[in-house]
Structure 1
Amino acid sequence: MTLSPEQISHALLEAAQKAGAHSADAMVVQGTSVSVDVRKGALEHAERSEGTDLGLRVLLGHRQAIVSASDSSPATLTAMAERAVAMAREAPEDPYSGLAETDQLAQNTDYAALELFDPTPEPTPKMLQDDALAAEAAAAAVEGVTQVSAAGAGYGEHRVHLAASNGFSSGYARTSRSTSCVAIAGTGTGMERDYDGDGRSFQADLRDPADIGRTAGERAIQLVGARKPATGSFPVMFDERISSSLIGHLMAASNGSAIARGSSWLKDCLGEQVLPDHLSVIEDPHRKRVSGSRPFDAEGLPTQRRAVIENGILTGWTLDLSSARKLNMTSTGNAVRGVSSPPSPSSWNLELTQGDQSRADLMRDMGTGLLVTSMIGSTINPNTGDYSRGASGFWIENGEIAYPVNECTIAGNLRDMLMRIIPANDARTHLSRVVPSLLIEGMTLAGS
């Protein structure tokens, strides 16, 4: 008989108790994924995987150990528990480890309201192949596209259950659907590539594959003839496709683990202004049909909507139980974990206040500068916030796109950069990180 994730998690807890664990938690992830890739009008690769991954964390006082497996047989569960307890006996003490108190646990864990699971039937491989072929054909039909290097479609379904000896037991299911395409324009050393893609929880929300392919092709041909831009100090606009990376750096610096280690350029900025005073960053894990939504975190605490930054002021850190205890604070319900790793803090869905101008309006106002649409590499000092990344995109003159550029580097300091951001109003609201194009005045640009 096949056991459900809930049954497996409780069997793991029972085995841990019998093996001598003082407390324990178990996570079980049962999933199916299907992916299809096409090339030159034919199927190139198809893959389907199904499996159940389980992880057990046991604690002996403040000593903890984690083991994982992909087999849920009774013998494996017993062996996992005995191995974990033996490992915990040899582990160093961590005074900040431990499960949540009962009064901290999420009480209402009904995930149905979040609409994370699409009840429509799983798409057949033929349906996925048709979507990939439609994207490829649309990209290839764009004049100037010399080849389509990749086109694919995928589907995933995962069920997660978390149970712990403190009484918590709950789970949820989510689905994902995606289509993507990469197009190449130009020839020889002048070849340029770009992409487009879409990922949703519900099949019905997914963009038309032909639109995805056409957009990938149009983006690729716009890059043909790219050259290095001038070197100097110029305004730089981060396109909406990559602007969320800046907010990602901000969230990494406000992560409780980094703060507890003292390795963050924001460590002394709690309660201080870190963004312009008309901007806020809202975290909301309860948005419907969004990948970053969930009813509870990886320690069984309720997730919550919160203003990470309110009117430019940093209001708090992103915390799990361990980092909160180290900082003498309260967890914000932001623990994540895999089956083979302990909980750690991470952010959920984020939204930056949008501006009242379009990207075209900001381009017109910036005059001469760089529109960044792609970045490679990363040199970021977590202690100082010094920032340097390779970039490509378009050179702007007199407020309009003049020519494509590549092989340049943009640099600055994140603390200064974020205080000068000017947002457009073009963010895609279905993404987990809703961040519009961002204009930053006076960045250092190294080109020709």
Structure 2
Amino acid sequence: MPDTSLERLHGVLAAARAAGADAAEAVFAVSRALSVGVRKGEIENVERDETADLGLRVFVGRKQAVVSVSEFSKATLDRTVDRAIAMARLAPDDPYAGLADPARLYRPINRAMMDLQMCDTTHLSAENLQQRALDIEAAGLALSESLQSDAASAGYAQNQWTLLTSDGFEGSHNTSLFFQSGRFIATDADGNMERDGEGRSTRYAADLPDVADIGRIAAERALAALGARKVDTQKAAVFFDRRIAKSLISQFLGAISGTAIARGSSFLKTKLGQAIFAPHVQIVDDPFRMRGLGSGLFDDEGVATRRTELIKDGVLTTWLLNTASAKQLGMASTGHASRSLAGPSGVSTHNVVLQPGPSSPQDLMRDAGKGVVVTSMFGPSVNSDTGDWSAGASGFWFENGEIQYPVNEITVAGNLIDMYARLVPASDLDIRGTVDAPGFLIDGLSVGGK
């Protein structure tokens, strides 16, 4: 970050303290992004964004307020500080508001500075991105005349985020994100249409897969979905493809969020220290993965991160805590604070992985006999108090480990507590994002069909 920006943050903090804040934190974020989308061989959109924003959170007694601005003249920053202090004095008391415990903050002397390789400074031109998107589209369309392009795109973003607090914490991280995707529509002889796609995001441009592979995989998925049938309503084994398996793990993460636990609005609120999954199941959050999309040495309150076994041998070991939820629960922050510039801290994870099991997807399906492979879901619904869950879905019917035919217009439902207890992970883990899981099988779910 330029020295002028650091000076600006220090100045805002000093002004906030002088105006009556007992404590304050300031964040400065800069982002540059460029993306190109194509459809049917023509450019559909070109988007270029360059933004800079400053966020200020102040604490006056047990009250707090958060404001943000995107213009940084002295007059604007002075008004921002005054407004923040005035808002805080009018806010209700919050006994859990405050800066993070200094003892838990990240300090370079606590751990050798780690280069997590989070930022690739490669700059791609709009012409380069356009060609990538066109190549994705061409690779997919080459598979069949029954295909048409729905969309293809490529782009990247580079960001810098810096946090300063009145307690003396100062930390910054630079990140980049490169992405490309394609989506196709397949049409059969009767005019029935199916859509599917493939996409990938990486920290480094060189880690993106070949554009031809993106197009081919996306097209193959659309073609494979043609001829979908409905199935009878029944109880059946369901294999959740790894593309969407992570959504059920995300439901688990939401249920162990400290904010949800503190509110008492989680179906897992009484389960800390208990077996939630089978003994062979492990779920790990690792903030130190090289080039990981959620990696970082500290969270959005400056608390040092650590590798955490959320589920160890099936047992729930911890809540996900920021400073406020930790105080409310009489615990310590786990380094999972996340915040926008315009709001107080929430909770989020880093790089969560459900560890793979020993059996392939085919072996799990063979052992199950018959059931549904779910490859896409829409409109998922969960009761946060009970864990009752349902979603619309499509995918394939399988028997004896072999795919028989595509299915659509089905619903899958169950109770997440029961589902987690019966979850059996496959061996096909593919690390791609901030929450990753292999495919997994859950028996005895309600499948709604015709």
TM-score by length of 2: 0.96
C-alpha separation in 2, matches of 1:113 and 1:145 = 47
Structure 1 residue 236 corresponds to structure 2 residue 229: no
C-alpha separation in 1, matches of 2:305 and 2:4 = 24
C-alpha separation in 1, matches of 2:407 and 2:315 = 36
User: How far off its partner does 1:352 sit?
Assistant: 1.3
The equivalent of 1:288 in structure 2 is 290
C-alpha separation in 2, matches of 1:267 and 1:189 = 49
Note the alpha carbon deviations across 1:49-81, whole angstroms, 9 max, x for none. Answer: 101011100110110001011112222111110
**Superposition map of 1:293-442 within 5 A:** 293-442=295-444
Cα RMSD over matched residues?
A: 1.6
Could you tell me which amino acid in structure 2 is paired with residue 39 of structure 1? R
User: How far off its partner does 1:113 sit?
Assistant: 1.2
Q: Is the 8 A contact 2:358 2:427 kept in 1?
A: yes
User: How far off its partner does 1:432 sit?
Assistant: 2.4
Q: Is the 8 A contact 1:281 1:353 kept in 2?
A: yes
The equivalent of 1:31 in structure 2 is 31
Q: SS at the partner of 1:172?
A: strand
Q: SS at the partner of 1:286?
A: coil
The equivalent of 2:70 in structure 1 is 70
C-alpha separation in 2, matches of 1:402 and 1:143 = 21
Structure 1 residue 57 corresponds to structure 2 residue 41: no
Q: Is the 8 A contact 1:100 1:166 kept in 2?
A: no
User: How far off its partner does 1:438 sit?
Assistant: 0.5
Q: Is the 8 A contact 2:200 2:432 kept in 1?
A: no
Q: SS at the partner of 2:244?
A: coil
The equivalent of 1:44 in structure 2 is 44
The equivalent of 2:173 in structure 1 is 172
Q: Is the 8 A contact 2:196 2:222 kept in 1?
A: yes
Q: SS at the partner of 2:132?
A: helix
Q: Is the 8 A contact 1:6 1:162 kept in 2?
A: no
The equivalent of 1:10 in structure 2 is 10
In 2 relative to 1, CA 112–41 (structure 1 residues): closer, same or farther, beyond 3 Å? Answer: farther
C-alpha separation in 1, matches of 2:146 and 2:50 = 37
C-alpha separation in 2, matches of 1:44 and 1:416 = 46
In 2 relative to 1, CA 410–90 (structure 1 residues): closer, same or farther, beyond 3 Å? Answer: same
**Superposition map of 1:57-136 within 5 A:** 57-108=57-108, 113-119=115-121, 121-136=122-137
C-alpha separation in 2, matches of 1:427 and 1:72 = 46
C-alpha separation in 2, matches of 1:78 and 1:442 = 61
Note the alpha carbon deviations across 1:88-140, whole angstroms, 9 max, x for none. Answer: 11000000000123222110288751110113x31111111111011010111
User: How far off its partner does 1:298 sit?
Assistant: 1.0
User: How far off its partner does 1:414 sit?
Assistant: 0.3
Could you tell me which amino acid in structure 2 is paired with residue 143 of structure 1? S
Note the alpha carbon deviations across 1:177-233, whole angstroms, 9 max, x for none. Answer: 000001000167610000101100000100111110111001001011112112100
The equivalent of 1:160 in structure 2 is 161
C-alpha separation in 1, matches of 2:439 and 2:296 = 27
C-alpha separation in 1, matches of 2:249 and 2:47 = 34
Note the alpha carbon deviations across 1:153-186, whole angstroms, 9 max, x for none. Answer: 0100000000000110110100000000010001
Q: Is the 8 A contact 1:8 1:28 kept in 2?
A: no
C-alpha separation in 1, matches of 2:101 and 2:253 = 27
User: How far off its partner does 1:47 sit?
Assistant: 1.2
How many residues are paired up? 447
Could you tell me which amino acid in structure 2 is paired with residue 114 of structure 1? L
Q: Which structure 1 residue ranges, 5 or more long, are not aligned? A: none
C-alpha separation in 2, matches of 1:233 and 1:370 = 10
Could you tell me which amino acid in structure 1 is paired with residue 348 of structure 2? S
C-alpha separation in 1, matches of 2:389 and 2:367 = 25
The equivalent of 1:138 in structure 2 is 139
Q: Is the 8 A contact 1:155 1:175 kept in 2?
A: yes
C-alpha separation in 2, matches of 1:155 and 1:306 = 30
C-alpha separation in 1, matches of 2:178 and 2:292 = 12
Q: Is the 8 A contact 1:234 1:370 kept in 2?
A: yes
C-alpha separation in 1, matches of 2:439 and 2:9 = 44
C-alpha separation in 1, matches of 2:229 and 2:384 = 31
User: How far off its partner does 1:427 sit?
Assistant: 1.1
Identity %: 45
The equivalent of 2:182 in structure 1 is 181
C-alpha separation in 1, matches of 2:5 and 2:285 = 29
C-alpha separation in 2, matches of 1:102 and 1:270 = 26
C-alpha separation in 2, matches of 1:126 and 1:439 = 44
Q: SS at the partner of 1:243?
A: helix
C-alpha separation in 2, matches of 1:246 and 1:2 = 42
Could you tell me which amino acid in structure 1 is paired with residue 330 of structure 2? N
User: How far off its partner does 1:425 sit?
Assistant: 0.9
Could you tell me which amino acid in structure 1 is paired with residue 156 of structure 2? Y
Q: SS at the partner of 1:28?
A: strand
In 2 relative to 1, CA 189–387 (structure 1 residues): closer, same or farther, beyond 3 Å? Answer: farther
Does 348-357 or 108-117 show the bigger shift? 108-117
Does 426-435 or 189-198 show the bigger shift? 426-435
Q: Which structure 2 residue ranges, 5 or more long, are not aligned? A: none
Could you tell me which amino acid in structure 1 is paired with residue 183 of structure 2? V
Q: Is the 8 A contact 1:308 1:316 kept in 2?
A: yes
Q: Is the 8 A contact 1:152 1:179 kept in 2?
A: yes
